[in-house]
Amino acid sequence: MRFKDFQPERCAQRIRIARHAKGWSMKQAARESGDTIPEQYWSKWENAHASPSAIFLFTLAQILEVPVDYLLGLTTSKEAS
């Protein structure tokens, strides 16, 4: 994927789907991150008002137990390869 092909809306949707799969509210997700990722960040990312930086993508992937490639929309698989 080239940078120009990045679709923030797809990333936002994937973050939201993965969070919902855990059964977490944004507030719960913030707590699960040890407050490393505040609730406001979750909201901005899920509404495509901002995109997570690389370090946050890795943190999200760990917390949500999905590959970074899934969050970026490079794969539809939620399983680590």
Using CA atoms, how far residue 9 sits from 33, 72, 80, in Å, is 22, 10, 22
DSSP state letter for 14: H
Q: Answer for the pair 70, 76: CB distance below 8 angstroms, yes or no.
A: yes
Confidence bin at 76 (pLDDT 50/70/90)? confident
pLDDT of residue 2: 52
Q: Answer for the pair 71, 31: CB distance below 8 angstroms, yes or no.
A: no
* Whole-number Å distance between alpha carbons of 76 and 41: 24
Confidence bin at 62 (pLDDT 50/70/90)? very high
Q: What is the chain's alpha carbon radius of gyration, rounded to the nearest angstrom?
A: 12
Share the mean pLDDT of the chain: 90
* Whole-number Å distance between alpha carbons of 57 and 10: 14
Is the pLDDT higher at 54 or at 75?
54
